[in-house]
Chain A
Amino acid sequence: MVIKRREFLQVGSLATASLMVPNFLKAFESKNMVPAGNKVLVILQMSGGNDGLNTIIPYRNDIYYKSRPRLGIEKSKILSLTDEAGLHPALTGFKELYDDGSLGIMNSVGYPNPDRSHFRSMDIWQTGSESKEYWTTGWLGRYLDAQCKGCDKPTYALELDDTLSLAMKGEEAKAIAMKDPKRLFGTANQRFFKDVMQQHKDEPGEQPVDYLYKTLSETVSSADYIFEKSKLHPSKAEYPKTELGQNLKTIASLIFSDINTKVYYVSHGSFDTHVNQQMQQQRLFTEMNDAVRSFTKDLKDNGRFDDVLVMTFSEFGRRVSQNASGGTDHGTANNMFLIGGGVKEKGLINPMPDLSDLDEGDLKYKVDFKNVYATVLKNWLAADDMAILKKKYDYLKFV
């Protein structure tokens, strides 16, 4: 592939030489602009509390069908993985990923003293705190703090949304939230904002207003940077026209560029299925399945599948028993998907939840989600997990 002059200029002007030159040189040799090895994490938040038991289904378990006379999914429709577990019928793309060895499933993930309120449990997952602690920064925000000391663009982490999640807010640095690089560019480049920024002079001694100007200037430079990168190698693949589909397409386009982003955050939902669960989960899974299938195929076609880890989570699972309205109520432990060419443990990583050993009708957690975070931070992002999680958590082996 011949590098275009336009790209050459951009690489030169936008990044410090020491950081970008190796990438840029290697780009001549490889088929892709960015050489392999630039590890990226994509977090897919399943908002609302996804029903894990109807996601990875224990289809040989009598307790499952007894607890869910109306909601239990028929054996014949289940996409069987092992002789005890199968996938929800809508997750055909996930079955393909399973079959080619790039899907890991972590069962019974949770935390001690689980909270069943959405906002509280989501905070616990997003901050990485214990359930008795109230933290005001997110785990990826603190990753950003560590990555972005003194950097001028907090683009190491991006959220595909209009507002920023707590997960992405650090003490000093905060990630950028945007749905569309072009729109972000348009908003940030209003003439008035740029002019205001230019006339501001930092007075001696840090003034409170300096923090706002710093954020403003980071936003403007990030918006420029993201927009430029999004135009370098826009994905040409077909994606579903859904919000998630388009968001994953934007992520893919950025991954194909040499942007410095290591973490992408995207949400899908709502999985809060108190009523008519079957229809709602079916619809959400179909959207998720189609979007993830396009995304993983796109990554494979462009030789980047080994460098991307997709991780899903939800703030809690749901009760084992169905409720009276064709749905399920808030529960506790849940499963997570780990997708990518770099996933080392394939298929069911740990045993299915024990339905005969419940805590007041809810699953008991076996894996603390902070162990999953520590593993990803250390083994995938090569970051200082102890500094970020403020505690030592043992590593797992999935990456």
Chain B
Amino acid sequence: MSLANQLKNQHLMWRVGFGPAVEQLADLSEVSSKQLYKALQKASSKKPEYIDVADDFLKGLWAGIDEVGRQEKMKEMKEEDKKKIQQKQRESVKSLNLNWLNVFINTDAQLREKMAFFWHGHFACRNLNVFYQQGLLDTIRSNALGSFRDMLHEVSKSAAMLNFLNNQQNRKDHPNENFAREVMELFTLGRGNYTENDIKEAARAFTGWSSDLKGEFIFRRFQHDYGTKTVLGKTGNYDGDEVLDILLSQKQTAKFITQKVYKFFVNDTIDEAKVSWLADRFYQSTYDIGKLMEDIFTSDWFYDEKNIGSKIKSPIELIAGIQRMLPMKLENEEVLTFLQRALGQILFYPPNVAGWPGGKTWIDSSSLMLRMRLPQLINDVDEMNVKTKDDDDLMMGRKAPEDGNKPMGFGKRGVIRATIDWKEYMGHFEKVQKEQLISSLSSNLLQTKSSVSNELIKQYSDAGSKESFIKSATLQLMSTPEYQLC
């Protein structure tokens, strides 16, 4: 089939998932986008496997002690033991981060994981307890393509969110409104669609929602306010679940979510007519996320020229995308943590409860330079000389770990030390004529209307052999402003 078809399929792969994988290269010009989407749906139909990375030491500590027992135990614990726990927690969250990033790169369930990545930013939550984080992650991955209603209820009852938004302090007579506010402002209605009084009243309905230290939801009856509440014009002695359903009964919630989905998956500039059509159907389907995504990805307008190559890849999309096309072994995976930090997006560390703003905010002069140097850094030609800012929530006043003067993971020479497996990639370009090579590589890697001049890429490529030419031209194409878009 035509190049246009290949471009459309690449577009689909970048938006449904984290970009085309090297093993898909042959198929992308053959199948239709409808067929491809069907296959992607099928690959995402299974329930995902729970990611469990919690350190054994923590598990041992957590196992078999009841809540009261543990609180007592925590109190008597020595300073150094507490420190050890914190350190193990941090390490476990880091490993959760790297494990999930690896899923992005390797899974066939691209649709599910990309969707979960979207919800990870929507239900943004920072929490240093790895058990809480694992639980919340499982909730959003399991419900990613299911019912938004179910997911909202589950997330709202997750230990991670209840703790992050201070709901354990939300008690009858001493309400804490943080949770109720964020549920309305960020998870359902969006700013300007409720009053301060709605928040106050809703907060009363959430009183008593709490979790135990194992991360299980508990309802503390004696802290709950059983009185009458009025939320968004409805009155009753509501509990938290009923308030969530009131929020879902507002069409504005469907609209708010659809707008956000459209921005994330289609275009930063909203097309009101499209969004309103999608939102109506989303609402009518009682919040079936899978159907909403199908509406988007099987529409003709999704493939409109203005939507292709129009989004700036987030740092995670950039890092995962390179590795899907060029599978690689890293001598030290710490570099992936470092790159997330340096480029401004660390999984499990959203900037605040509103998530990553995305779009142009990814780009400033420093982040653009680093993005454009990334392929040469992977190729060990360039040396990492950038340091990131300290994160005091993570470091608790200690110095950032470094190898000599180089950031963690880069070794003394300050290079990434990656071994790229080029075999399959090379195979795909075996039959391409030498004169056609750069055009062919370029059309596989770049989604933008204008591309970099082939002549320029040629100048910077190593013409020693066909293999070295393909390698160097590929890395050079990945070092362009165009490659930052998808």
Contacts and interface: CB of A to CB of B under 8 A. Distances in A.
A177 B485 CA distance: 23
A193 interface: yes
B48 interface: no
B364 A215 contact: yes
Interface string B384-422: 011111111101111100000000000000000000000
Given A196-B456, A199-B456, A222-B365, A119 B352 contact: yes
B312 interface: yes
Given A123-B351, A208-B310, A272 B364 contact: no
A212 interface: yes
B228 to A, nearest CB: 26
Contacts of A209: 309, 448, 450, 481-482, 485
Interface in B412-468: 448-450, 452-453, 456, 459-460
A136 B481 contact: no
Contacts of B388: 162-163
Contacts of B456: 195-196, 199
Given A120-B352, A174-B365, A183 B312 contact: no
Interface string A120-162: 1001000000001010100000000000000000100000011
B83 to A, nearest CB: 8
Contacts of A222: 365
B457 to A, nearest CB: 9
Contact of A134 (B352, B390, B459): B352
A110 B152 CA distance: 35
Given A134-B353, A219-B365, A272-B397, A192 B392 contact: no
A175 to B, nearest CB: 8
Interface stretch (B50-58, B232-240, B287-295, B367-375): B367-375
Given A199-B456, A212-B481, A273-B397, A47 B392 contact: yes
B304 to A, nearest CB: 14
A30 interface: no
Interface residues of B, number: 54
Contacts of A273: 397
B438 to A, nearest CB: 13
Interface in A197-228: 199-201, 203, 207-209, 211-213, 215-216, 218-219, 222
Counting chain A CB atoms within 10 Å of each CB, the highest count among B365, B367, B484 belongs to: B365
Contacts of A47: 389-390, 392
B354 interface: yes
Contacts of B399: 270
Nearest to A123: B352
B351 A119 contact: yes
A302 interface: no
Nearest to B484: A212
A277 B453 CA distance: 57
Contacts of A154: 365
A269 interface: yes
A163 B386 contact: yes
- Max chain B C-beta neighbours (<10 A), residue from A169, A176, A209, A267: A209
Given A119-B351, A207-B450, A270-B395, 17 more contacts: A49-B392, A119-B352, A123-B352, A162-B387, A162-B388, A176-B366, A177-B364, A193-B372, A196-B480, A203-B450, A208-B311, A211-B312, A212-B312, A216-B372, A216-B481, A270-B390, A274-B396
16 contacts: A47-B389, A48-B392, A119-B126, A134-B354, A164-B365, A174-B365, A193-B372, A196-B452, A207-B449, A208-B311, A209-B309, A211-B363, A216-B368, A267-B389, A270-B399, A275-B397
The 9 closest A-B pairs by CB, nearest first: A272-B397, A212-B481, A219-B365, A134-B354, A118-B392, A174-B364, A136-B357, A162-B386, A199-B453
